[in-house]
A and B are shown apart, each in its own frame.
Chain A
Amino acid sequence: MCEKCGCQTGMGTKPKVIDVNKSLFEANEKIGEQNRHHVERMGAVAINMISSPGAGKTTLLEATADALKDSVTFGVIEGDIETEKDAQRIRAKGIPAVQLTTGGACHLDASLVHHGIHELEHIVPGGRLDIIFIENVGNLVCPAAFYLGEHKRIVMVSVPEGSDKPAKYPRAFIGSDLFVISKADLLPYFDFSVEEAISEARRLNPSIDVLIISPKSGQGMDKWLDYLSGILK
Chain B
Amino acid sequence: MHEVSLVQGLMKQVREIAQDHQAHRVTCIRLSIGPFSGVVLDSFSFAFEVLKRDDELFSQSRLVIKTPAPVLKCPHCGHEVEVQGVVEGEMELFGTFSRAKCPSCDMYGLAPFGGDDILLLQVEME
Contacts and interface: CB of A to CB of B under 8 A. Distances in A.
Interface stretch (A40-48, A78-86, A168-176, A177-185): A168-176
A200 to B, nearest CB: 7
A105 B6 CA distance: 12
Given A15-B27, A142-B2, A202-B75, A23 B38 contact: no
Given A16-B23, A16-B126, A144-B38, A21 B120 contact: yes
26 contacts: A10-B24, A13-B126, A15-B124, A16-B124, A18-B17, A18-B122, A18-B123, A18-B125, A19-B122, A21-B121, A22-B119, A23-B118, A24-B117, A27-B9, A105-B2, A105-B5, A106-B2, A107-B2, A142-B38, A167-B94, A167-B98, A171-B116, A174-B116, A203-B98, A203-B109, A204-B111
Interface string B26-48: 01100000001110000000000
Say whether chain A's binding surface is mostly helix, strand, loop, or mixed: mixed
Interface of A: 10, 13-25, 27, 105-107, 141-142, 144-145, 167-168, 170-171, 174, 200, 202-206
Nearest to A206: B75
Contact of A203 (B91, B111, B117, B118): B111
Contacts of B21: 16, 18
Q: What range describes how many residues of B lie at the interface?
A: 35 or more
Interface of B: 1-2, 5-6, 9-10, 13, 17, 21, 23-24, 27-28, 36-38, 75, 91, 94-95, 98, 109, 111-112, 116-126
A14 B23 CA distance: 11
Task: Identify the interface centre among A13, A144, A170, A171: most chain B CB within 10 Å of its CB.
Answer: A170
A16 B18 CA distance: 10
B123 A145 contact: no
Contacts of A145: 1, 37-38, 116
A19 B121 contact: yes
Given A145-B38, A200-B98, A25 B118 contact: yes
Say whether chain B's binding surface is mostly helix, strand, loop, or mixed: mixed
A106 B6 CA distance: 12
A25 B32 CA distance: 13
Contacts of A20: 13, 17, 120-123
Given A170-B112, A202-B75, A206-B75, A24 B125 contact: no
Contacts of A167: 94-95, 98
Nearest to A174: B112
Contacts of B27: 15
Contacts of B13: 20, 22, 24, 27
B118 A24 contact: yes
Task: Identify the interface centre among A18, A19, A24, A141: most chain B CB within 10 Å of its CB.
Answer: A24
A20 B37 CA distance: 19
A205 B113 CA distance: 10
A142 B2 CA distance: 7
A24 B119 contact: yes
Contacts of B123: 17-18, 20
A165 to B, nearest CB: 12
A153 B42 CA distance: 30
A16 B125 contact: yes
Contacts of A24: 6, 9-10, 13, 117-120
